[in-house]
Amino acid sequence: MVLLECPNCGARNVAEFRYGGELKPRPAQPMAGSEESWVDFVFMKQNKLGLQAEWWYHRAGCGIWFMAERHTKSNQVVKTYRWQPAEKAS
């Protein structure tokens, strides 16, 4: 991967960006979750081999956090988009 498409700035050198890890949905009811579910949220990873939704930060550009869908074996980025919060957290 050499270029990454920033939703604001267009295709830029990947060195301008910082990787922010895989997308993990936050527990919908933070106070209700057990301690174990918080450990899972904080530490456990899917670490997917395949298409992964993940965070990126355009640190040397416009400074937004956005999402990318990337294949973790080929590093091919399928699409990038602004993060949309779920309609209603279930």
Partner 1 sequence: MSFKLISQALNRNQPPPRMWRQHPLKDRYDVVIIGGGAHGLACAYYLAKEHGITDVAILEKRYIGAGGSGRNTTILRSNYLTPEGVRFYDESLRLYHQMALEFDYNVMFSKRGHLTLAHSDGAVRTMRRRAEVNRLQGVDSRLIWPEQLKALCPPLDVSENPRHPIQAALFHPPGGVIRHDAVVWGYAHHADRMGAEIHQLTEVSGIRVEKGKVSGVETNRGYIKAGTVLNATAGWCSTISEMAGVKLPVTTFPLQACVTEPLKPFLDVIIVSGSLHVYISQSDRGELVMGASVDPFASYSMRGSLGFTEGLAGHMLELFPSLANARLMRQWAGLCDMTPDYSPIMGFTPVDGFLVDVGWGTYGFKATPSSGKRMAELIATNKTPELIHPFRLSRFYEHDLVGEKGAASVSN
Cα–Cα distance for residue pair 50/85, rounded to 1 Å = 23
Q: Position 40: which residue type?
A: D
For partner 1, which stretch binds (CB under 8 A), given 24-32, 42-50, 78-86? Answer: 42-50
Q: Which is nearer to partner 1, 44 or 88 (CB)?
A: 44
Can you tell me which of 25, 47, 87, 90 binds partner 1, judged by CB under 8 A? 47
For position 15 contacting partner 1 by CB under 8 A, the verdict is yes
Cα–Cα distance for residue pair 68/80, rounded to 1 Å = 4
For position 87 contacting partner 1 by CB under 8 A, the verdict is no
Can you tell me which of 74, 78, 79, 83 binds partner 1, judged by CB under 8 A? 74
In contact, 64 and 8? CB cutoff 8 Å: yes
SS3 37: helix
